[in-house]
Structure 1
Amino acid sequence: MRLTFDRSPGTGPEVVCLPMFSTTRVATAAALAPALSGADLRETYLDLPGHGDTPANCPATSQAVLDSVCAWLDQHVDAPVLLAGVSYGAYLAAGVARQRPDLTRGLLLVCPGVTIAPSSRTLPEHRPPPGPTGWLDEAPTDLRAHLDAALGHRTPAVVGTVLAALAAGGPGDETFQRALRTGPGYALPDEDVDTPFHGPVSVLTGRQDGVVGYTDQFHAMRRYPRGTYTSIDEAGHYLPFEQPALLRAQTQDWLRRTRA
């Protein structure tokens, strides 16, 4: 399977990182590389089908996208790897662990989706504290409602960092992405199945995440006998850019557990 990827040199374990929906491997590296640094890992960042530099070379369903990731792993790695993902990438990583546990040593799931349908998600009841006056002024008008719901750490600096990440690496195939997001195959067929995964897992959520919330992820911890769950205040759906120091601390602990 042809997926565009960047892989860093290293002699340690390989960690394969999957992106947020509609973003690229460049954005994923901006989100996760600082948290993974210093561990001598072989870091691999993938562009999913129809994202970044990977063409839309599969049907517009999440199962087909997951199958593409598994086919890439079968072709490019010779041992189970660590999987890390943010948002949709974390949703896929958890799906790989359910369907192909032979490919997976451990999971780092950051702001993971648990159910794909927005109507089925448990979102925070309380709004985040207001940001400073004008904190969203630099955001394009069509993104302001999304960022207002998504961000818990509400500052102009965070907004600028998120916007830079969203723009990094090109738009990909927007027609494919739209068909995926709006089609009947957006949900993985086994998203509700509580198949246990016995490797080390770290699940990080934003306490003010108005996109996927933090409650469903806690209930899904029954799937992870060796799982750590963390909900971080002053963080939303873009947690890696809102609380990078806390993400790094939790990631380094996860890496320690994967090597125990």
Structure 2
Amino acid sequence: MLTRPPLGTFSCGLGAPVLLLPWFGLDGTVLASAFEPAFGQLEGVALNVGWRRLYLDLPGTGDSDPVAPSSDAVLDAVEETVETLLGDSPFLLAGCSYGGYLASGLARRRPEQVQGMVLICSGVRIRPETRNLTGVLPSRPEPGWLDTTPPELHEHFRTAVGNQTQIVADRLAAAFARNAPTDDAFLMRLRASGYPLSDEESAEPFDGPVALLTGRRDRIAGYRDQFDALARFPQGDYHCLPSAGHYLPFEEPALFAALLGEWLRRRH
């Protein structure tokens, strides 16, 4: 009898496993909306390998129940899910924002098993007051860019989206509409009490191929902390997209697909 993993998960495709962790408060379906178009473009393009994409719902989102309100407990649940789904098999990691923060933590715990990472708009210092937002550029909103977006998303989009066009807003709103209801009380407790991982300040290097993708207009995570994090990644590269904000894969999908493909090629 198969053991059910602690966290909700679904998979797309066949081949080498890639574990994908989403933004804070968003579930795996939203993350799939960002990644699946990119993987679709990459199929058969000089990679000579398939990819089994494993999308996780973090605790309090999607099909995943809350855990103790700390990032250490969240990462424990992610690690238990890895053990259930993959055992000791090698895998790649991808994470956006908080998911990237957790991905780095998982690589510190399982450096021999994690074969590489792509970290997108990733958290480095997770408390908002400790993030380096120096030099983040203001957006240049297209007139009427939010006219077709649900009003309840306007405030967040004005802050988080860098490439402020109607096409981007509509694309992102469609993805948000797929997000399952969240346990807001749990998420608030997590952010208030146990948000940083206990080893957040670790300088432990990770020797696999790493791509750090950032947006120059990211007013949530910035782009400077991620550049500083390169010191921990001897095989790391860094890309800062001038028009992108915190939802880079939705804001610059063509560039995102190209950079994702380059990272996968380096893995082989």
- CA positional deviation for 1:138: 3.5
Equivalent-residue separation in structure 1 for 2:238 and 2:137 (angstroms): 22
Secondary structure at 2:112 match in 1: helix
Q: Could you list the runs of 5+ residues in structure 1 that have no partner in the other structure?
A: none
Equivalence for 1:118: 128
- CA positional deviation for 1:145: 3.1
Whether 1:31 aligns to 2:40 is no
Q: Judge conservation of contact 1:73–1:103 (CA < 8 Å) in 2.
A: no
Q: TM-score, normalised by structure 2?
A: 0.91
Q: Judge conservation of contact 1:124–1:209 (CA < 8 Å) in 2.
A: no
Equivalent-residue separation in structure 2 for 1:232 and 1:242 (angstroms): 10
Question: Greater CA deviation, 193-202 or 170-179?
Answer: 170-179
Secondary structure at 2:172 match in 1: helix
Equivalence for 1:16: 19
Whether 1:106 aligns to 2:116 is yes
Q: Which amino acid aligns with 2:11?
A: R
The match for 2:76 among 67, 88, 98 is: 67
Measured against aligned partners, the alpha-carbon deviations of 1:187-214 in whole angstroms (never above 9, x if no partner) come to 1111111110001101100111011000
Equivalence for 2:46: none
Secondary structure at 1:74 match in 2: helix
Q: Judge conservation of contact 2:212–2:237 (CA < 8 Å) in 1.
A: yes
Equivalent-residue separation in structure 2 for 1:36 and 1:94 (angstroms): 22
Question: Greater CA deviation, 163-172 or 114-123?
Answer: 163-172
Distance 1:206 1:125, change over 3 A: same
Q: Judge conservation of contact 1:240–1:247 (CA < 8 Å) in 2.
A: yes
Equivalence for 2:235: 226
**In angstroms, what is the RMSD of aligned CA positions?**
1.5
Whether 1:2 aligns to 2:11 is no
Equivalence for 2:267: 258
Q: Judge conservation of contact 1:204–1:231 (CA < 8 Å) in 2.
A: yes
Equivalent-residue separation in structure 2 for 1:241 and 1:129 (angstroms): 16
Equivalence for 2:223: 214
Equivalent-residue separation in structure 2 for 1:94 and 1:163 (angstroms): 28
Q: Which amino acid aligns with 1:253?
A: E
Distance 1:89 1:233, change over 3 A: same
The match for 1:54 among 49, 52, 64 is: 64
Whether 1:241 aligns to 2:244 is no
Measured against aligned partners, the alpha-carbon deviations of 1:110-148 in whole angstroms (never above 9, x if no partner) come to 110111111111114354342122212344445333322
Equivalent-residue separation in structure 1 for 2:130 and 2:152 (angstroms): 24
Equivalent-residue separation in structure 1 for 2:123 and 2:149 (angstroms): 24
Secondary structure at 1:123 match in 2: coil
Secondary structure at 1:14 match in 2: strand
Q: Could you list the runs of 5+ residues in structure 2 that have no partner in the other structure?
A: 44-48
Distance 1:34 1:211, change over 3 A: same
Distance 1:153 1:143, change over 3 A: same
Equivalent-residue separation in structure 1 for 2:241 and 2:230 (angstroms): 16
Q: Judge conservation of contact 1:124–1:210 (CA < 8 Å) in 2.
A: no
Equivalent-residue separation in structure 1 for 2:120 and 2:148 (angstroms): 26
Q: TM-score, normalised by structure 1?
A: 0.93
Equivalence for 1:161: 171
Question: Greater CA deviation, 169-178 or 114-123?
Answer: 169-178
- CA positional deviation for 1:99: 2.1
